[in-house]
């Protein structure tokens, strides 16, 4: 078993502890497989009554997925990238449909793949260290791992704003938006884990007792602007609204969006539009897998990873470079269902 994730049991709880500190616990294929295997094993073990997900040593909860591997594979035949997405989404779906309570501790950076392993949990604990984001449009990707499902269900147009801009929110903001269920000081987390492992039937009471009042959620100050300026599911309309507003906040958002991949932003808007009415999470993951397998082999992801992660020049050359050149046909091609023998399926 990979040592990048530590699988153990403590008392009546199964423990999944991410253990890639140098990569801020970013997920790789082996980690996803190991996590799914543990969940399957604990499913029928009556001695295990809850599952706790956190990180072992080092900072951050989980910075995402193995983006470098995805880009390198995408530049070749895409096989390893497809394998990663397939196994990651199976693990995400297993968490979403799990019969036993899952408690995720979002202590530190919780981005991309980290969102995918925390938001399916019944209990999602934020702290003063939480830095939550779905920053994928900046590397030519899209908010996957169920992003189309979760973000489309946030209040107003918050999900569209977070998906397009990659805006980072803190623990208090996560709580206010319903992304987190509880806000605990980080120095109470070990106590929470120990007590939950001993008394998994009392999770609600334990977390309620240890929770503290969260600071003010700063994002709510811009709620009306976000709902108004990000109201459209058409990217060009959003950009036009921000431009015509001309205010300081709107101008800042416009500058941010101009650094993102136009293709990735259009994919993200369609993902949330579809996700809002997706019948089941399984349907969501099937669609996201089809989209991911295509996006990972297109220019913008490979170029975005080069610019942001490999060369770090932060000057990606997007293609198409202009939103109006990302045609509806291109987006429809990316979203087309895969042939049955290539499609994603749950474990």
Asked if residue 33 lies in contact with residue 9, where contact means CB atoms within 8 angstroms, the answer is: no
Q: What angle do CA 319, 320, 322 make, to 5 degrees?
A: 130
Is 65 considered catalytic here?
Answer: yes
- HSE-up (13 A, CA, CB side) for residue 238: 26
Cα→Cα distances 89→46, 52, 147, 193, 313, Å: 26, 19, 11, 26, 31
CA-closest candidate to residue 51, choices 30, 37, 33: 37
Of the candidates 8, 344, 338, the one whose C-alpha atom is nearest the C-alpha of residue 197 is 8
Widest distance between CA atoms in the chain: 60
Find the catalytic residue in 65, 114, 116, 140. Answer: 65
113 an active-site residue?
Answer: yes
Question: Which residue of the set 14, 74, 112, 113 is catalytic?
Answer: 113
Distances 241 to 9, 87, 137, 244, 246 between C-alpha atoms, Å: 52, 39, 20, 5, 9
Q: Which of 49, 88, 144, 173 is catalytic?
A: 144
The Cβ-side half-sphere exposure at 9, using a 13 Å CA radius, reads 14
In angstroms, the CA 15 to CA 54 distance is 8
Which residue among 136, 274, 288, 300 is the active-site one?
A: 136
Strands (E), 41-99: 50-55
Query: Under DSSP, is residue 297 helix (H, G, I), strand (E, B) or coil?
Result: coil
Instruction: List, by residue number, the catalytic residues.
Output: 65, 113, 136, 144
């Amino acid at each position: 078993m990979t040592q990048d994730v530590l699988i153990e049991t403590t008392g009546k709880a199964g423990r999944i502890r991410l253990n890639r500190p140098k990569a801020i616990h970013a997920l790789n294929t082996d980690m996803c497989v190991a996590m799914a295997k543990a969940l399957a094993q604990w499913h029928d073990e009556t001695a295990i009554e809850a599952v706790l997900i956190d990180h072992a040593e080092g900072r951050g909860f989980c910075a995402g997925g193995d983006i470098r591997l995805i880009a390198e594979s995408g530049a070749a035949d895409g096989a390893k990238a497809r394998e990663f997405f397939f196994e990651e989404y199976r693990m995400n779906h297993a968490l979403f449909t799990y019969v036993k309570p899952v408690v995720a501790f979002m202590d530190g950076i919780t981005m991309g793949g980290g969102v995918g392993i925390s938001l399916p949990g019944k209990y999602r604990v934020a702290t003063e260290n939480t830095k939550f984001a779905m920053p994928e449009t900046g590397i030519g990707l899209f908010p996957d791992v169920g992003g189309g499902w979760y973000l489309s269900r946030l209040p107003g147009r918050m999900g569209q704003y977070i998906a397009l801009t990659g805006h980072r929110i803190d623990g208090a903001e996560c709580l206010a938006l319903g992304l987190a269920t509880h806000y605990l000081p980080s120095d109470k987390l070990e106590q929470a884990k120990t007590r939950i492992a001993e008394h998994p039937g009392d999770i609600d009471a334990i977390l309620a007792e240890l929770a503290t009042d969260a600071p003010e959620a700063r994002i709510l100050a811009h709620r009306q602007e976000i709902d108004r300026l990000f109201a459209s599911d058409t990217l060009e309309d959003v950009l036009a609204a921000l431009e015509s507003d001309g205010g300081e906040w709107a101008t800042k958002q416009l500058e941010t969006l101009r650094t993102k991949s136009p293709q990735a932003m259009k994919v993200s808007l369609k993902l949330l539009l579809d996700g809002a009415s997706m019948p089941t999470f399984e349907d969501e993951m099937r669609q996201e897998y089809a989209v991911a397998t295509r996006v990972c082999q297109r220019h913008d992801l490979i170029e975005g990873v080069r610019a942001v992660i490999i060369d770090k020049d932060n000057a990606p050359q997007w293609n198409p470079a202009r939103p109006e050149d990302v045609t509806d046909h291109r987006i429809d091609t990316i979203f087309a269902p895969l042939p049955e023998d290539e499609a994603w399926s749950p474990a």
